[in-house]
């Protein structure tokens, strides 16, 4: 049971004026600092047989402290409440506190050997936390004493944020409304403590512990705990929290500071937007459901322009449909034909164009503006027995055939190449430089005036 009061069974000797002056001199020797700035100092006056220390605050433009508070560490002795609050605010959580690290190391070595059951940590970046750990382990039946001795040091350090305490608690699970020790060990970090500080968070954790026990098999980091807390703050159901955290869990393992987490959450918002766009695009045509990658992680690595798809199909479809119709009126309609099992036609709508780009899985979607501006001509070659299914995509630039590929930029078969050559001959399209061999046909170049050059021309012009 947590105690309401405590009577000291030990008292330190009063701090003498000489000892106080020695502390002031130690502060000035450590770092006198500019006269116009205040300073906070923590002087450890002895480490044995008990720890004794003094906090001193120097106001601006003064070399004399206006506040001196003594902090002895001894079993059977509890500081006054105001001093405990001051120790937390001015010492433990004060990053500008000046102190010597040498005595801290001696204290750690001594008490770690004397009290292995206290689970002491060195706290290299927050050294004064070691003293908070030791002080609370010297107390009896306090929240911090129970948590520190259970090895839950971060939960102990931030237990002051708890919305309510179970005054009958004698072990960690009772402090946190019945949450199991394995879950508490997994959540032993700053953000884990903040997650557990509110009764709502504790209720969610109990649900997750029951329905998603694997979450708590390993220690969680601050980013993982913060993510769960953010999901709870967004009023999601416990099942939704578990499902979303399960999907993000592995990615969150790689995040170890707040700036990284902010970037992660921004990317999560983008990811959710992508998922919503994927669902909307899938409804436009069944082909997208089959050939459009459905996971946002793949969107950043696949070759097609996903942002372009969202722009063309969801935000400007009518505008691009109209632009394609206007563009096609400027092309030779006789280039569209049906002959010997194949159909050649222009893209008719932006959806027509995007279907081809997604199926072909290449950079075709990057040609939308060039096609609309009649800077190049894109032709779809289909089989007459399935005219709606993409088959071969062709590009004619300056009346010259420069591309004719299957999906994944695979070359045409000899039979298909012969048909395309005959098609080009019928319509006066120059195919003399096109080899129907991707290894050779990639050697085309565009000069500064937009003139198409082959490899020989490029060498000649330098």
Section 422-438 average pLDDT: 94
Q: Show Cβ contacts of residue 264 under 8 Å, excluding neighbours closer than 6 positions.
A: 223, 251, 252, 255
Q: What is the tens place of the pLDDT at every residue in 250-286?
A: 999 989 888 888 888 888 888 888 888 889 999 999 9
Alpha carbons 27 and 42: distance in angstroms, whole number? 8
Domain final residue pick, 141, 171, 202: 141
Mean pLDDT lowest among 91-95, 162-166, 239-243, 440-444: 440-444
- Structural domain containing residue 397: 319-461
H or E element, residue 456: helix 455-461
Is residue 215 one of the residues assigned to a domain?
A: no
Section 417-439 average pLDDT: 94
Section 434-458 average pLDDT: 64
The answer to whether 225 and 260 are in contact (CB under 8 A) is: no
Is residue 382 one of the residues assigned to a domain?
A: yes
Q: Which of 296, 262, 265 is closest to 278 using CA atoms?
A: 296
The answer to whether 380 and 346 are in contact (CB under 8 A) is: yes
Q: Tell me the percentage of the chain whose pLDDT exceeds 90.
A: 69
Q: Judge whether residue 462 has pLDDT over 50.
A: no
List alpha helices for 58-137, DSSP H: 81-86, 101-114, 129-137
Is residue 8 one of the residues assigned to a domain?
A: yes
The pLDDT of residue 461 is: 34
Q: Which of 101, 143, 142 is closest to 123 using CA atoms?
A: 101
Q: What is the tens place of the pLDDT at every residue in 124-166?
A: 888 999 999 999 999 988 899 999 999 999 999 999 888 888 8
Distances (CA, A) of 64 to 32, 57, 94, 357: 11, 9, 20, 76
The pLDDT of residue 193 is: 95
Q: What is the tens place of the pLDDT at every residue in 450-461?
A: 555 554 444 433
The pLDDT of residue 116 is: 94
Coil, strand or helix: which one is 337?
A: strand
The answer to whether 440 and 430 are in contact (CB under 8 A) is: no
The tokens for 35 are 């006269």
**pLDDT classification of 242: cutoffs 50, 70, 90:** very high
Count Cβ neighbours within 10 Å for each residue of 137-175 and write b for 16 or more, e otherwise: bbbeebbbbbbbbbbbbbbbbbbeebeeebeebeebbeb
**pLDDT classification of 326: cutoffs 50, 70, 90:** very high
Is residue 125 one of the residues assigned to a domain?
A: yes
Helices and strands, counts by H and E, the chain: 22, 11
Is residue 180 one of the residues assigned to a domain?
A: no
Mean pLDDT lowest among 34-48, 206-220, 226-240, 421-435: 34-48
Q: Show Cβ contacts of residue 58 under 8 Å, excluding neighbours closer than 6 positions.
A: 27, 33, 38, 39, 40, 41, 64, 65, 66
β-bridge mates for residue 215, sequence order: none
Q: How many residues does the chain have?
A: 462
Q: Judge whether residue 301 has pLDDT over 60.
A: no
Q: Please tell me which residue, 453 or 462, carries the higher pLDDT value.
A: 453
Predicted TM-score (pTM) of the model is 0.69
Domain final residue pick, 141, 168, 189: 141
List alpha helices for 285-316, DSSP H: 286-291, 296-299, 306-310
Distances (CA, A) of 360 to 161, 205, 374, 377: 56, 46, 22, 17
Q: Show Cβ contacts of residue 418 under 8 Å, excluding neighbours closer than 6 positions.
A: none
Q: What is the tens place of the pLDDT at every residue in 213-234?
A: 999 999 999 999 999 999 999 9
Q: What is the tens place of the pLDDT at every residue in 80-119?
A: 999 999 999 999 989 889 998 889 999 999 999 999 999 9
The pLDDT of residue 292 is: 87
Q: Show Cβ contacts of residue 329 under 8 Å, excluding neighbours closer than 6 positions.
A: none
**pLDDT classification of 302: cutoffs 50, 70, 90:** low
Is residue 302 one of the residues assigned to a domain?
A: no
Alpha carbons 31 and 119: distance in angstroms, whole number? 33
Is residue 439 one of the residues assigned to a domain?
A: yes
* C-beta neighbour count of 347 within 10 angstroms: 25
The pLDDT of residue 456 is: 46
Alpha carbons 382 and 337: distance in angstroms, whole number? 11
Domain final residue pick, 141, 176, 211: 141
Is residue 200 one of the residues assigned to a domain?
A: no
Q: Judge whether residue 38 has pLDDT over 80.
A: no
Q: How many domains does the chain have?
A: 2
Q: What is the tens place of the pLDDT at every residue in 160-204?
A: 888 888 878 889 999 999 999 999 999 999 999 999 999 999 999
CA 163 to chain centre: 29
Alpha carbons 101 and 454: distance in angstroms, whole number? 71
The pLDDT of residue 269 is: 84
């Amino acid at each position: 049971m947590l105690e309401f009061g405590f009577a000291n069974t030990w008292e330190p000797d009063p701090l003498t004026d000489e000892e106080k002056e020695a502390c002031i001199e130690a502060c000035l020797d450590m770092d006198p600092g500019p006269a116009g700035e205040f300073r906070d100092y923590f002087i450890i006056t002895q480490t044995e047989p008990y720890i004794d220390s003094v906090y001193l605050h120097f106001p601006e433009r003064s070399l004399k402290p206006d506040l001196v508070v003594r902090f002895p560490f001894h079993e059977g002795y509890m500081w006054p409440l105001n001093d405990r609050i001051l120790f937390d605010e001015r010492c433990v959580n004060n990053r500008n506190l000046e102190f010597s690290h040498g005595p801290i190391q001696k204290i750690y070595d001594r008490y770690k050997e004397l009290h292995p059951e206290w689970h002491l940590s060195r706290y290299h970046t927050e050294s004064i936390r070691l003293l908070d750990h030791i002080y609370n382990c010297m107390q009896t039946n306090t929240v911090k004493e129970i948590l520190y001795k259970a090895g839950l040091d971060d939960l102990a350090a931030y237990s002051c944020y708890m919305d309510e305490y179970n005054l009958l608690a004698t072990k960690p699970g009772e402090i946190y409304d019945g949450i199991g020790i394995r879950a508490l060990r997994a959540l032993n970090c700053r953000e884990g403590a903040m997650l557990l500080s509110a009764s709502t968070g504790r209720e969610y954790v109990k649900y997750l512990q029951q329905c998603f026990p694997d979450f708590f098999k390993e220690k969680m980091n601050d980013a993982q705990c913060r993510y769960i807390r953010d999901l709870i703050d967004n009023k999601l159901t416990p099942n939704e929290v578990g499902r979303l955290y399960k999907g993000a869990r592995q990615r969150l393992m790689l995040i170890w500071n707040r700036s990284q987490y902010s970037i992660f959450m921004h990317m999560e918002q983008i990811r959710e937007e992508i998922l919503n766009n994927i669902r909307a695009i899938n409804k436009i045509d069944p082909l997208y459901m089959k050939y459009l990658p459905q996971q946002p992680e793949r969107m950043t690595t696949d070759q097609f322009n996903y942002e372009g798809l969202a722009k063309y199909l969801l935000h400007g479809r009518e505008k691009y449909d109209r632009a394609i119709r206007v563009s096609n009126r400027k092309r030779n309609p006789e280039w569209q034909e049906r002959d010997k099992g194949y159909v050649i036609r222009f893209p008719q709508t932006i959806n027509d164009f995007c279907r081809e780009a997604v199926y072909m899985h290449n950079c075709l979607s990057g040609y939308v503006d060039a096609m609309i501006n009649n800077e190049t001509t894109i032709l779809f070659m289909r089989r007459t027995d399935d005219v709606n299914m993409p088959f071969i995509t062709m590009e004619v630039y300056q009346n010259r055939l420069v591309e004719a590929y299957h999906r994944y930029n695979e070359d045409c078969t000899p039979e298909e190449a012969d048909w395309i050559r005959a098609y080009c001959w019928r319509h006066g399209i120059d195919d003399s430089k096109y080899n129907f061999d991707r290894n050779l046909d990639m050697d085309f170049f565009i000069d500064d005036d937009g003139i198409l050059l082959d490899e020989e021309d490029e060498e000649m012009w330098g």
